[in-house]
């Protein structure tokens, strides 16, 4: 694999297992050097060594807890100073089916810090460099639950932020050589569910995707320049219909006086 053209350096967060580990494998196979970020240093090192051997790529690791402000800033400094970075995959995330009234406030804050704050800060850290070099991409992993609050308002709220943030970012970089993509996984078989206190085996098998299929679909979508990639969506027209209906709804929310239905 050493003859593979070098595509620069891909930064992958939440890389020690699941979706992040599959991204790391696929991107190394495509010719990227890697910076892998996750909390579990031992698993990161194990994966890094495997990828160095398999693909003859440079792989470095940063052990960091992205709910910790100091760790986030440490990652920011490392990746913003690296002129070789051409791809950021914001995959790290925390989940949990929490009811707001009984949620642990500290756990909710950690979820928001990882899913929203760290994602935003790391995007901001690499974006100026990508724009200056007029190449590269940012991939943000959201969730289909951005459009459904049944898993709890805290988690779905963070993922709705990721969708809106990424869609706006896609418009911001329009006309440049930088791509921006948001990925909408449905139920995906990883250890995310166990860590979130849920049992994925309680779901119908026909709606559970494996991480390999998810990442492979997302990478095809990225290569095609998709702003929004939904790996399980068979009919792409449904996405266009949804986005069009949402825009039409937004357009109906403006008027110079209150709607007649709110008359006293």
Which residues are known catalytic residues? 155
Instruction: Tally DSSP H helices, then E strands, for the chain.
Output: 9, 9
What distances in angstroms separate CA 239 from CA 2, 79, 156, 227, one per listed residue?
Answer: 39, 33, 19, 11
Q: Give the neighbor-by-neighbor strand order of the sheet with 228-229.
A: 59-63, 33-38, 9-13, 85-90, 136-141, 178-183, 228-229
Q: Are strands 228-229 and 178-183 parallel, antiparallel or unpaired?
A: parallel
| Nearest alpha-carbon partner for 163 in 142, 189, 145, 194 | 142
């Amino acid at each position: 694999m050493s003859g593979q053209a070098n595509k620069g350096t891909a930064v992958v967060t939440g890389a020690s297992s699941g979706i992040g580990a599959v991204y790391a494998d696929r991107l190394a196979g495509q010719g990227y050097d890697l910076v892998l970020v996750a909390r579990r240093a031992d698993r990161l090192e194990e994966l890094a060594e495997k990828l160095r051997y398999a693909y003859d790529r440079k792989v470095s690791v940063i052990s960091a807890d992205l709910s910790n402000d100091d760790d986030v800033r440490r990652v920011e400094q490392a990746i913003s100073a690296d002129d070789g970075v051409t791809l950021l995959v914001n995959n790290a995330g925390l989940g949990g089916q929490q009811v707001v009234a009984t949620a642990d406030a500290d756990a909710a804050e950690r979820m928001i810090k990882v899913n929203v704050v760290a994602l935003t800060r790391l995007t901001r850290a690499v974006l100026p460099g990508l724009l200056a070099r007029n190449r590269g991409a940012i991939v943000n992993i959201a969730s289909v639950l951005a459009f459904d609050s049944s898993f709890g308002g805290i988690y779905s709220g963070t993922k709705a932020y990721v969708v809106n943030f990424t869609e706006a970012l896609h418009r911001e970089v329009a006309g440049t050589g930088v791509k921006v993509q948001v990925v909408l996984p449905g139920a995906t078989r990883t250890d995310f569910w166990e860590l979130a206190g849920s049992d994925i085996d309680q779901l119908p098998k026909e709606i559970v995707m494996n991480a390999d299929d998810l990442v492979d679909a997302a990478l095809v979508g990225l290569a095609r320049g998709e702003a929004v990639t939904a790996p399980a969506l068979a009919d792409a027209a449904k996405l266009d219909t949804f986005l069009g209906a949402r825009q039409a709804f937004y357009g109906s929310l403006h008027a110079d006086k209150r709607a007649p239905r709110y008359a006293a």
